[in-house]
Structure 1
Amino acid sequence: MSAFRFILLSTATLIASPALAQDAPALESPAPEDDASDPANTILVTGRVQRLYRTTQTTVGKSVEDPMNIPQAIQVINSDLFADQGARDATDIYRNISGVSFFSYAGVTFRGFRQDQSFYDGQRGNPFIGFSVPQLFNIERVEVLKGPAGLFFGPGSPGGIINYVSKTPSEKRALRMVLTGGTYARAGLSAEATGPIDANGIVTYRLGGFYEATDPYRRNTSNKSRIADGGIAIRTNEGGKLTLQATIYDNYLRANRLRGVLTDDDGHFLSDISWNANERTDFLHLKSQAYQARYQTSIGKRVTFDAGVRYFNAREVQKYHEPRGLAPNNPDLVRREFRDQIRPVHGLSFSTNTTARLDILGMEHKIQAGADWYNEKSVLNSRILRAGVTSLSLSNPVYGTSASDPARAALLPYTVTDTRSKRRGIYLQDQIALTPALLLVGGVRYDHFEDSVTTGTGQTASSRSSYSDSDITFRSGLIFKPRHDISTYFSWSQSFEPQTAASQDANAGGPFAPVTGNQIEGGVKSQLFNGRLQANLALYRIVRRNILQVDPSLAPVNGIDQLAPVGEVTSKGFEIDLSTDLTPNWVLLANYGYNDTRITGTAPGQSITNAVGNQFANAPRHKLGFWTRHQVPAIDAAFAFGGEYVSRRLSLSGQTVRPYAIFDASITKRLKFAEVLLKVNNLFDKVYAASGFSAQSGHFPGQPRTFLAELRFRI
């Protein structure tokens, strides 16, 4: 009997036998752990409070702040929405974020630009390192700052950043366990415990464990994910806390690194979406650990201070067959090569921030100052077997004929690419309350960076390049509140990204100044009807400059093409976000984003990376998402329905990525001792591409219809 059927049968038995639980305490759905003791934040399946999915504070600006006082668009997705949507990893929540859509693996398209960086608790150090997707088990909320975030986070894409905020120990004792089952042999178990260690609650703890296994719809695949998470918090003084955390990840993905399914130029799949270029013996195995310490304290009533250190160490082993496009003489055969790669990465980050509120000349100033420091070493050991690898049929794939590929690849030497990155930054921002209704924001940041790349085979280095530089970025904004629940704003902000160290070669014309981004944004944020309606509108224009291109007017030097910073891209659009309680038992979330990203400057006859012609790859013109949930107190149940629409896009090879609309539905039923969630994803079993990649490796197919069941216990 499958795990899914077992859980359904068990649930039906429990519902039919209420006498078994007459003495069991009534349980609540998870409340935010950072304020679990506040009755106003208690969240029940029956009679849930107003403002279910909404957050009145965020730390995306490195200090606790009301989103109404931040002159840029922000979204915060909390663990209540994770639970109601049955979200497992980051890709499950993108539909809730206007202006964000899936690109590949953990990468997204953010206001038209590809973005692969993630932050944890405001610091660099992503333990999933690129080809594994961040899991949500130990995440309390996801904070999204849209547009350039250079003032607080340093170098990065101008589209925005995603910050994962970890669960931390709570002073309220709680225990939660979840049993999971579903289609494709999904089975899992997770448990979390938190509470005080001593009688006075000076020391608190959190322990968590997560395991889930599934055999997805792609041929040969089987996934196993494990997470162990623990933390201790120590109240050091009045208003002060030291939090120590450690998390261990182990993801084993058979028949990965998973590429797409080949399509024609109109975006139609050339085979069933279960097709996979990988053999059953291929795999991707990620082991990583993250350790961090953070100290926060208040100094009087007007000064706060925090400092944090984060270290992560990851090692990803990949042995997989890479599709290389159709065979020239047989449109049913896909050529392949075998890749054996090992990617060890480790990084250490440190940050400190201070906030002080001062009265100067009758005006309140909120002054923030901070610094951050980050070192990372990333090594790619790669050997690629191209000769003698068997091609694979699209219509009738036969696996097992390439069993000798790993052994033959092992005879090749590794090509080693060793990349070292250093980032140092300091910032200062002042928020001035000119009047109670008028705020002025201004900030400046200085960054210094150093990058080096060494490439070699065996013990011989074939190339070395390094580069260091610095940059200054600015941010300014004006906020006007015609009433306490409406905030209008206008802002100008900058970003920068260092050019790759390999591009700084003097033979190529280097060194070059960083890629810069400038954004103008205006908008309105509202918290009407005592917060029951939050409706936000943002309009923006981003110009990204100094993108390197080959200069056709110059002859190569020592065989290396000459580069010039002649690339420019302009992204403009608007976003609408709505979150409201239609009735005390009915909540609606909706978001829409319009984006037009185009190349506005380039060398003749060339295209900028991630662009096709005049457009950018995987940048939809329109994206719409919604989620609505209605609870019925009479039967202790809640019914939910959601969906996502993404308009036509282009792949990296210029192939059409067809538009799609998919829908989900769920039922959450409260028992006397637990809660059960039954959910169906892709309700109408739509065949679609979640994003495009290349003509050689195809489009990433979206997941077909799947069923999920969760049985949740909490005491």
Structure 2
Amino acid sequence: MPMPLGPWMRVAITVAGVASLCLAGPAIAREAEKGARKGKQPARSYGQYLVEQTRTLHPELIGLDLHATPPNAPHPVVIASLDRDRVGRESDLSLVEVVKTSKPAVAVDTETGQRIEVNVPLYDQSGNTIGAMQAVYVYAKGEDEAQFLSRAEALGGEMQRQIPTAARLVQLVRPTEGLDIGGTQSLPTTKEVVSGKALTENEQEGYAEAVKNVAGVAPANSKGSPNDSIYIRGIKLNLFSNYRLNGGVPVAGVITMPNEDKSRLETLKGANALQFGVASPAGIINMITKRAGENDVTSFSGAVSNFGQFGGTFDVGRRYGDEGQLGLRLNGSATRLENGVYGLGGDGEFASAGLDYRADRLTLQGDFEYYRKHVPEQAGISLLDPVNGKVPITPVPDPRSLLSGPWAIYTPETTNAQVRADYLVADNFKVVAELGRSYSDRSRFTTRIGGYDIDTGAGGAVRVSTVTQNYRNSFGMLEMQSALSTWVLGHELTFGGSVTDRRAETPLNRKEFILPQTQNIYDPIALAPPVFKGAPTSLPLQISRDGGVYAYDTISFHPQAPKLLLGIRYTEDYENNGKAYDPVSCIKCGPNTSWIALPSFGALWDAIPGVTLFGSYMEGLEAGGTAPANAYNANEILPAQVSTQKEVGIRTSYFRGVHASVSLFEIDKANAVTDPNPNPYCGGNPMCYVNSGQINYRGLEATMNAELTRLFTLDIAWQWLRAIQNSPDPKFNGLAPENTPRSIGNVRLGFRVPWVSGLTLNGGASGVTSRYVNFQQQGSIPGYVLYSAGASWVVSNHALNLRRLTFLLSVDNLTNLRYWNSVQTGTYGIGMDRTIKATVKMDY
């Protein structure tokens, strides 16, 4: 909703910001002065930080200890406690038993009868038992002991979400080291994290394989594509704005983004987008890079698939300096690529470096990544023309047959660089600054086959286009985080400003050329390379820039009362598609600037121990879609549009060993379609990619992670979705969008084999319902269910000086099903045959 406000508004915003700093300055200075009088603030372990932070959120606790076995220690000890004198003491036998059996224990103090101690297992984010937690509460005779057990288990669930590994608990942290002051971790939103084994299994495969079991995630491209793309909540993520590196620079997604240097992948939905400016309401994939820990890291791994793909990776982390102030993490990989299609072999390389420097009140972080691929691309199979208003659905051909040729080379490469500084002005006030840039280039051939005989597959017309594109995303952010109180209210306040500049150049653009050969999609032949005629064209530089200020405040009244979120982002959006304005043929062309206010609010309530209710409403600015290769305005990027999202939900860890969430959401966003009829946006030409009204999405999303017994784990994710176009064009109005399933879900069962130490077996199934092939509901591809199985075996080998040796085996599409993976922009995406992958990882 553009606001007709002139330059005076920029002045007003600047004056307000300066005034805020002036008002806050004396208080900040007094806090800093107090800290200086107290002397140098001692470093503390991450576990100690968690304990002390938890106590502020749960004042009912009168004691809290974390027990774990530190690296190179023989027995569990107290690694963190509200009573610091207890740190370092050996754990008593009752707590050791909890660690061994993963069974909780409850005991009332026999001397006073007024304290109750609850010992529960302590888990990391991957679900591994890493120790025990002891929570102590005030107790009155006759109270139900089960309620205290429920509280402690819920508390353990909160801890688990913040513990990446056991080693992290004993590592030192400085006051600024990534610890959130402004309350971003307590937003009323949906957030799912993929880490640990899931990332290791999908090294050299990319992010899409790692997040495929997250609720609401659906594929957008053919299986094994060199440039993965996904849908979340029925909406395709924008490849140039929805993938963030450490919450900062948006990575230009011209290539499958690697996992080798990532500690975790966060799928952020809902009000999280308030922090990111232009983004899709569906979600953000936030890629968190690895850092050097207190313990040296030296790891090597190798992977091979049944299609002949093989590759290796390395991971090295070291800290330098008397107090380990400087950290360095290096990662790299090289892979011989084989995605299952005969004749599509290629190569891919990746290298990264992560640096960090820790001072008492200052932390500096820097990241550099480079990755590339050199691999041919498979041809896409186009939809056949409608017959009596219905598109005939093509039978699935052999996914391993090459339909294009070795000449269809795809050569994407990406370079990302980012730096960040965190400075703790006072114990409750932090300033964060961040700068980053992502460069991506690609040259590709897009091959599509249409007009074939649906029964024999013969006579397919082969259309080839080629393009060279350069993308540059720049990002800058300055943010202040503060925790303060006003009377009876507590505030976790964040105020900041950011600017993102996205530029796209297309110096070479050849539109579709029809080869003299035809192709049989069921029995293909080797196609000769295209011989283009005439000089190539180019597209003008396209610029999309958003800059603005934002503020949000998480307000707390009482530990048992709801927390409220109030936020707003005020953005200046600049769009320039490089075309000249014409009042008749191109009314939306030329530069355009608008100011947009984007509010957000929500609530978060811990109704009872282990049960949290949340709700939110947000408005966001969504980056425009990119016109597909078969559109008249191919490769053009549409202007950004405002989207809205409402969400209510519940999260629970009330039942022992079970973490579950259910949420209802509604999203309204711009509806970008390829109009088959003449359209004024493209000068009256058909096949124009243009916004046509909005799409309304309403859905129900649920996840559950359960440790059923010591031996069995169960993971379930499911989504139901109804999507309807609200368009001024009667061809689309009231119909469902393409490639949007009504339901999607997966289930996985894990079994820890008790008679073989370190061995875990797993099996699962994932399913998708039917999806319409276009925005006019002229046909649908059938749904499918895929079955998978795998094994993980972790051992140590002292003879080889190996701290840990991991063997991973995974099998996807066990039944070798032939299926359409997706359908979008008039082209089928094909699934792949049974895929077997084995990985060996050595940690020294």
Question: TM-score range with shorter-chain normalisation?
Answer: 0.7 to 0.9
> Take 2:199 and 2:334, find their aligned partners in 1: how far apart are those partners?
17
Aligned with residue 609 of structure 2, among 484, 490, 499? 484
CA 1:187–1:64 in structure 2 vs 1: closer, same or farther (change >3 Å)?
Answer: farther
SS, match of residue 172 in structure 1? coil
- CA displacement at 1:652 relative to structure 2: 2.7
Greater RCO structure (CA 8 Å; 6+ sep): 1
Corresponding residue of 1:194 = 317
Q: How does 1:406-417 map to 2 (within 5 A)?
A: 408-409=531-532, 411-417=534-540
Q: Please tell me whether residue 595 in structure 1 is matched to residue 712 in structure 2.
A: no
Q: RMSD of aligned C-alpha atoms?
A: 3.8
- CA displacement at 1:544 relative to structure 2: 3.4
- CA displacement at 1:628 relative to structure 2: 2.7
- The code of the aligned residue for 2:219 comes to F
Q: Conserved in 2, the CA contact under 8 Å of 1:46 and 1:631?
A: no
Q: Conserved in 2, the CA contact under 8 Å of 1:148 and 1:518?
A: no
Q: Which runs of 4+ in 1 moved over 4 A?
A: 38-54, 61-68, 84-87, 260-268, 327-331, 498-502, 545-550, 554-566
Q: How does 1:232-381 map to 2 (within 5 A)?
A: 232-235=355-358, 237-254=359-376, 256=377, 258-260=379-381, 265=391, 267-326=393-452, 332-380=458-506, 381=508
- Is there any run of 5+ residues in structure 1 with no aligned partner, and where? 1-24, 27-37, 457-461, 503-511
Q: Please tell me whether residue 640 in structure 1 is matched to residue 762 in structure 2.
A: yes
- The code of the aligned residue for 2:545 comes to K
- The code of the aligned residue for 1:56 comes to Q
Q: From the two aligned structures, give the one with the greater strand fraction.
A: 1
- The code of the aligned residue for 1:496 comes to L
- CA displacement at 1:219 relative to structure 2: 3.5
> Take 2:360 and 2:494, find their aligned partners in 1: how far apart are those partners?
22
- The code of the aligned residue for 1:488 comes to L
- The code of the aligned residue for 2:574 comes to E
Q: How does 1:63-462 map to 2 (within 5 A)?
A: 63=180, 69-83=186-200, 88-104=205-221, 105-116=227-238, 117-129=242-254, 132-147=255-270, 149-235=272-358, 237-254=359-376, 256=377, 258-260=379-381, 265=391, 267-326=393-452, 332-380=458-506, 381-384=508-511, 386-400=513-527, 402-403=528-529, 405=530, 408-409=531-532, 411-437=534-560, 438-454=562-578
Q: Conserved in 1, the CA contact under 8 Å of 2:381 and 2:448?
A: no
Q: Could you report, residue by residue, the CA deviation over 1:334-390 in whole angstroms, capped at 9, with x for unpaired residues?
A: 111222211111222111222101110121111111211122221122113525542
- The code of the aligned residue for 2:791 comes to I
- CA displacement at 1:165 relative to structure 2: 1.4
- The code of the aligned residue for 2:334 comes to Y
Q: Conserved in 2, the CA contact under 8 Å of 1:351 and 1:372?
A: yes
- CA displacement at 1:209 relative to structure 2: 0.8
Aligned with residue 669 of structure 2, among 537, 544, 549? 544
Q: Conserved in 2, the CA contact under 8 Å of 1:178 and 1:712?
A: yes
Q: Conserved in 2, the CA contact under 8 Å of 1:549 and 1:603?
A: no
Corresponding residue of 2:646 = 520
> Take 1:621 and 1:102, find their aligned partners in 2: how far apart are those partners?
14
> Take 1:440 and 1:148, find their aligned partners in 2: how far apart are those partners?
13
- CA displacement at 1:455 relative to structure 2: 5.9
- CA displacement at 1:436 relative to structure 2: 1.2
SS, match of residue 546 in structure 2? strand
- The code of the aligned residue for 1:671 comes to V
Q: How does 1:673-712 map to 2 (within 5 A)?
A: 673=797, 674-695=805-826, 697=827, 699-712=828-841
Corresponding residue of 2:110 = none
Q: Please tell me whether residue 655 in structure 1 is matched to residue 779 in structure 2.
A: yes
> Take 1:684 and 1:499, find their aligned partners in 2: how far apart are those partners?
39
Q: Conserved in 2, the CA contact under 8 Å of 1:642 and 1:663?
A: yes
Q: Conserved in 2, the CA contact under 8 Å of 1:56 and 1:67?
A: no
- The code of the aligned residue for 1:307 comes to A
SS, match of residue 435 in structure 1? coil
Aligned with residue 55 of structure 1, among 135, 157, 161? 161
Aligned with residue 789 of structure 2, among 623, 642, 665? 665
CA 1:498–1:68 in structure 2 vs 1: closer, same or farther (change >3 Å)?
Answer: closer
> Which structure has the greater CA radius of gyration?
2
CA 1:57–1:348 in structure 2 vs 1: closer, same or farther (change >3 Å)?
Answer: farther
> Take 1:549 and 1:188, find their aligned partners in 2: how far apart are those partners?
40
> Take 2:806 and 2:209, find their aligned partners in 1: how far apart are those partners?
21
Q: Conserved in 1, the CA contact under 8 Å of 2:768 and 2:784?
A: yes
> Take 2:839 and 2:674, find their aligned partners in 1: how far apart are those partners?
51
CA 1:332–1:615 in structure 2 vs 1: closer, same or farther (change >3 Å)?
Answer: same
> Take 1:73 and 1:663, find their aligned partners in 2: how far apart are those partners?
27
Normalised TM-score (structure 2): 0.70
Q: Percent identity?
A: 16
Corresponding residue of 2:622 = 497
Q: Could you report, residue by residue, the CA deviation over 1:638-695 in whole angstroms, capped at 9, with x for unpaired residues?
A: 1111221111111237432211111211122233322211221111212112211355
> Take 1:62 and 1:564, find their aligned partners in 2: how far apart are those partners?
43
Q: Conserved in 2, the CA contact under 8 Å of 1:87 and 1:93?
A: no
Q: Please tell me whether residue 607 in structure 1 is matched to residue 736 in structure 2.
A: no
- CA displacement at 1:292 relative to structure 2: 1.0
> Take 2:494 and 2:437, find their aligned partners in 1: how far apart are those partners?
25
- CA displacement at 1:523 relative to structure 2: 0.9
- Is there any run of 5+ residues in structure 2 with no aligned partner, and where? 1-70, 73-87, 89-98, 100-121, 133-155, 165-175, 222-226, 386-390, 581-585, 628-637, 798-804
SS, match of residue 411 in structure 2? strand
CA 1:521–1:704 in structure 2 vs 1: closer, same or farther (change >3 Å)?
Answer: same
The 10-residue stretch of structure 1 (359-368 or 312-321) with the greater mean CA deviation from structure 2: 312-321
- CA displacement at 1:82 relative to structure 2: 2.1
SS, match of residue 196 in structure 1? strand
> Take 1:626 and 1:394, find their aligned partners in 2: how far apart are those partners?
34
- CA displacement at 1:208 relative to structure 2: 1.0
SS, match of residue 334 in structure 2? strand
Corresponding residue of 1:617 = 738
